[in-house]
Amino acid sequence: MSFRKINYRLRPAKTVERKMIVEAFRKLGAFSPVKDYQYVGFGSLYFVDFSLLHKNLGMTSMISIEKEQNAKSRFEFNRPFSCIKILFDSASNVLPRLNYDQPTIIWLDYDGKLDSECLSDLNSVCTKIQPGSVLLLTVNVQPEGLNLDNSQDGASPNGSTASGRIHEHRLKVLQDQVSRSKVPARITGRELSLSGLPLVIREIMENEINTALENRNGLLPGDNRLRFQQTFNILYNDGASMLTYGGIFLDKNTEPIFSSANFFELPFCTTSDQPYKINVPNLTVKETGLIDSKLHDLYDFTSSAFIKNVQDLKIIPDGDLQSYAQIYRFYPTFTESIW
Amino acid sequence: MSTDAEKKDPNIIDTEPTKGFFITMLIRDVSLKDAIGDLVDNCVDGARSLVRDDDYSNYHIDITITPKTFLIKDNCGGINIDTARDYAFRFGRPSDFPGIKGSVGQFGIGMKRALFKIGRHFNIKSSESTSSFELDVDVDEWAKQKEWQFKLKGYEVSNTGHVALGTEIIIDKLNPEVIRDFGNATFINELKTELELENLYPISKGLVIRINSIELKRRNLELLTSDEIKPAYFEQKYNDDVNIRILAGVGEAILEEGGWYVFCNGRLVLGPEQTAITGWTGGRDKDGGPKYHGQYQRFRGYAFFEADDASKLPWNTTKNGVDLDSAIFKGVRQQMVSIMKPINSFLNLMKEERENDPSPQDLFYSNIVQKAVSVDIADITKTNESIQKTTAKVFTHPVVDLKSEPKEKKVSITYKRDKDEVDRVKRVLKTNSTADVGIRTFEYFLEMEVGG
């Protein structure tokens, strides 16, 4: 299980993403008090997102879905607050059972690739979730490499090129994961690259949500019909490329509330199919201190550009400066501490 | 070229149907059993317009089937002479048809199609409180005429009222395949079962239907309930004119009876349904649950669509299926799929339990099901209190709390290799133990190739 492999606290880009999303969640107050939202996530052993949301936003109605049933007492032990309820079952079993009457934030933070089970989970949520509620999905969007065993000494059976083979392989893997019928018809495999795969995966998730809502809307009177408004499309990389796609469910009554909440003043909230990319440069504490002290004189936050001579900061590469300026409020500092 | 043809407007293309074609096409898409079902639906609709407080016990329908004739006779009110003239025998419903509230008939096709399907000659006698009529049609003769008309053999209009209010239809000159079926005992049995299911609701309310004097049995729709097990209940009004109710849970373990049952205005149109139509899609690329098979035989789901205007309901014209493309059925199907997921995962738990631990006292889930009581769903939905008491939004069941956690899982690996090879590895590993060779080569692979 991934909780044994990865220490979730030491992933800088993920840390930045979490803080950004918490900031965006503050805007949900326009719908109803944020502390009254129910949070559903995968807490694992560390419950990082749970602690963050509880401490920052005061949420107390929290459910962690944990499919690992062999270490129950260990999960219970690590639960940071008793207001967190752990349900030991798979997401596909828990999601259809949940009570969606109160406004809810569901973050399905899968570590793996998008697959049919994830899509089925999306469907379960869309069947019941209420307007003003939020759904986020995180999946691995690292493109497939070629399995070495299949490419013996570069010899190709029908004269196909190496790149042709990898396109074919990527398409086949994607079709296996989400099924053929869910892969958009125009996709040939060429698009499933480092830059292309996140777009395709986002499209598949969006299609699935829209289809589920279309079915549900068939039964609802016009004013109650739901639409999914994308707010998050974030790409980050702590060793593998990960995509967080998410948004808010709106009906006629909640549309104006959403507009007034002004989510899109936040630079990391986007309606675009092009993801917002989090880059976390490696900087020392001394360096970040230096940039922080000058940033508001040298950087224009509306155009996201340095406007003045950055002579003072020339020891830091330009690219790192740019990346840092975009995320400086969320930049994590990791230190070892002895407890 | 005839002079007639020359007079025709050259822009006009003739699309008038021929009667022969019309009859052949009409009867092709309906099975004989469904055709008879349609005739029964008409009788039930008659009764429906007369009953008070849902009590059908004064009404009966008698069907007599022989290899020579088909007879259906009811006391369900009869057909009004004006209805007969203006609507009942029209092919398709005129837009001004007033209709019967909550009826099963709606397309204006069922009765005619059934008559043609069964035989080439029919006689209809009907008496209603203010009128009566007789219609006698030889289908082959009618097919030769150009006019799209039936001629009444006789009629009577009086205000005194008739005593025997009802309709009698006799069909003979049976079609060849009908003669074969009507002489076959299995066909009659299957027809009986089908009509029992289709008319389950009015039969449960007292309606008597007999085939060759044998009365159809009342079939109960039941679900297991207890303090521990609560079936799922869903209710929604659609567009103010269709009421939708879904009730689902577990029932007896009978393979042929598991699945979904879909009703439109009390008439069963699907069920027991065990295919993708009701979410038993199987396959990862599908939007539903698993394919139906033995481990789900306890699944029971009931979906009811009710509307005063029958044309709002999502059924097909033969009433043996639903209109899969209708927005209303798509929406309801999504809810059905969502409702069935927790029920199927419960049935999966029961199966796991059976396979893991055969000692009877440890069969936690089976014991819960054993203790539950089978209740007629009509009793469950009778009042809001009983719905509140016995059902939940989501199928509810207790979960076994495993206090002791399973031990770490270890497996053994055994294999044979040539002694020479093993000795060579021993020398590299500087060990004399063969077991050590196995363990350390595995550990090496795990570290170098797998990681962790």
Q: Say what the pLDDT of residue B269 is.
A: 92
Q: By mean pLDDT, which of A110-119, A261-270, B14-23 is the weakest?
A: B14-23
Q: Say what the pLDDT of residue A154 is.
A: 47
Q: By mean pLDDT, which of A132-141, A149-158, A275-284 is the weakest?
A: A149-158
- What's the mean pLDDT in A273-280? 95
CA distance A176 to A192: 14
Residues in chain A within 8 Å Cβ distance of B339: 96
- What's the mean pLDDT in B207-233? 93
Angle between helix A197-217 and A116-128 (nearest 10): 40
Nearest CA in chain B to A115: B284
**pLDDT tens-digit series, residues B260-279:** 999 999 899 998 999 999 99
- Tell me: pLDDT of B108 over 80: no
Q: What is the pTM of this model?
A: 0.80
A218 Cα to chain B: minimum distance (Å): 5
What is the domain partition of chain A in residue ranges?
A: 2-142+194-277, 285-330
Find, among B168, B189, B216, B185, the residue nearest to B67 by Cα: B185
Choose from A32-41, B191-200, B436-445 the range with maximum mean pLDDT. A32-41
- Terminal C-alpha separation, chain B: 92
- Tell me: pLDDT of B299 over 80: yes
CA distance B23 to B62: 27
- Tell me: pLDDT of A151 over 50: no
Q: By mean pLDDT, which of A303-317, B1-15, B222-236, B357-371 is the weakest?
A: B1-15
Q: By mean pLDDT, which of A74-78, A86-90, A196-200, B108-112 is the weakest?
A: B108-112
Residues 6+ apart with CB under 8 A from A189: A166, A167, A168, A169, A170, A171
B393 Cα to chain A: minimum distance (Å): 9
Note whether B223 and B260 are within 8 A (CB). no
Torsion angle defined by CA atoms of residues B369, B372, B374 and B376, in that order, rounded to the nearest 10 degrees: -120
A-B Cβ pairs (cutoff 8 Å, strict)? 68
Residues 6+ apart with CB under 8 A from B146: none
pLDDT tier, A188 (very low <50, low <70, confident <90, very high otherwise): very high
- Tell me: pLDDT of A157 over 60: no
Query: Looking at this predicted complex, what is its ipTM?
Result: 0.79
- What's the mean pLDDT in B94-102? 72
Instruction: Report the mean per-residue pLDDT for chain B.
Output: 87
Name the percent of chain A lying above pLDDT 70.
Answer: 93
Residue A124 phi/psi, 5-degree rounding, is -60, -45
- Tell me: pLDDT of A182 over 70: yes
CATH architecture of A2-142+194-277: 3-Layer(aba) Sandwich (3.40)
pLDDT tier, A214 (very low <50, low <70, confident <90, very high otherwise): very high
Query: Residue type for A105, please?
Result: I
pLDDT tier, B89 (very low <50, low <70, confident <90, very high otherwise): confident
**pLDDT tens-digit series, residues B114-145:** 999 999 999 999 998 888 899 999 999 998 88
- What's the mean pLDDT in A24-51? 96
Tokens of B195: 């009509």
CB-CB neighbours of A335 under 10 Å: 5
Note whether A118 and A135 are within 8 A (CB). no
Residues in chain A within 8 Å Cβ distance of B402: 69, 72
Note whether A38 and A7 are within 8 A (CB). no
- What's the mean pLDDT in B100-104? 74
- The count of C-alpha atoms lying within 13 angstroms of the C-alpha of B324, restricted to the half-sphere facing its C-beta, is 8
CA distances from B444 to B71, B269, B411, B412 (A): 84, 63, 18, 17
In this structure, the strands spanning B267-273 and B299-306 are unpaired
- Tell me: pLDDT of A215 over 80: yes
Residues in chain B within 8 Å Cβ distance of A182: 285
The answer to whether B341 contacts A73, with C-beta atoms less than 8 Å apart, is no
Say whether residue B243 is in contact with chain A using an 8 A CB cutoff.
no
Tokens of B180: 């074969």
- What's the mean pLDDT in B374-391? 89
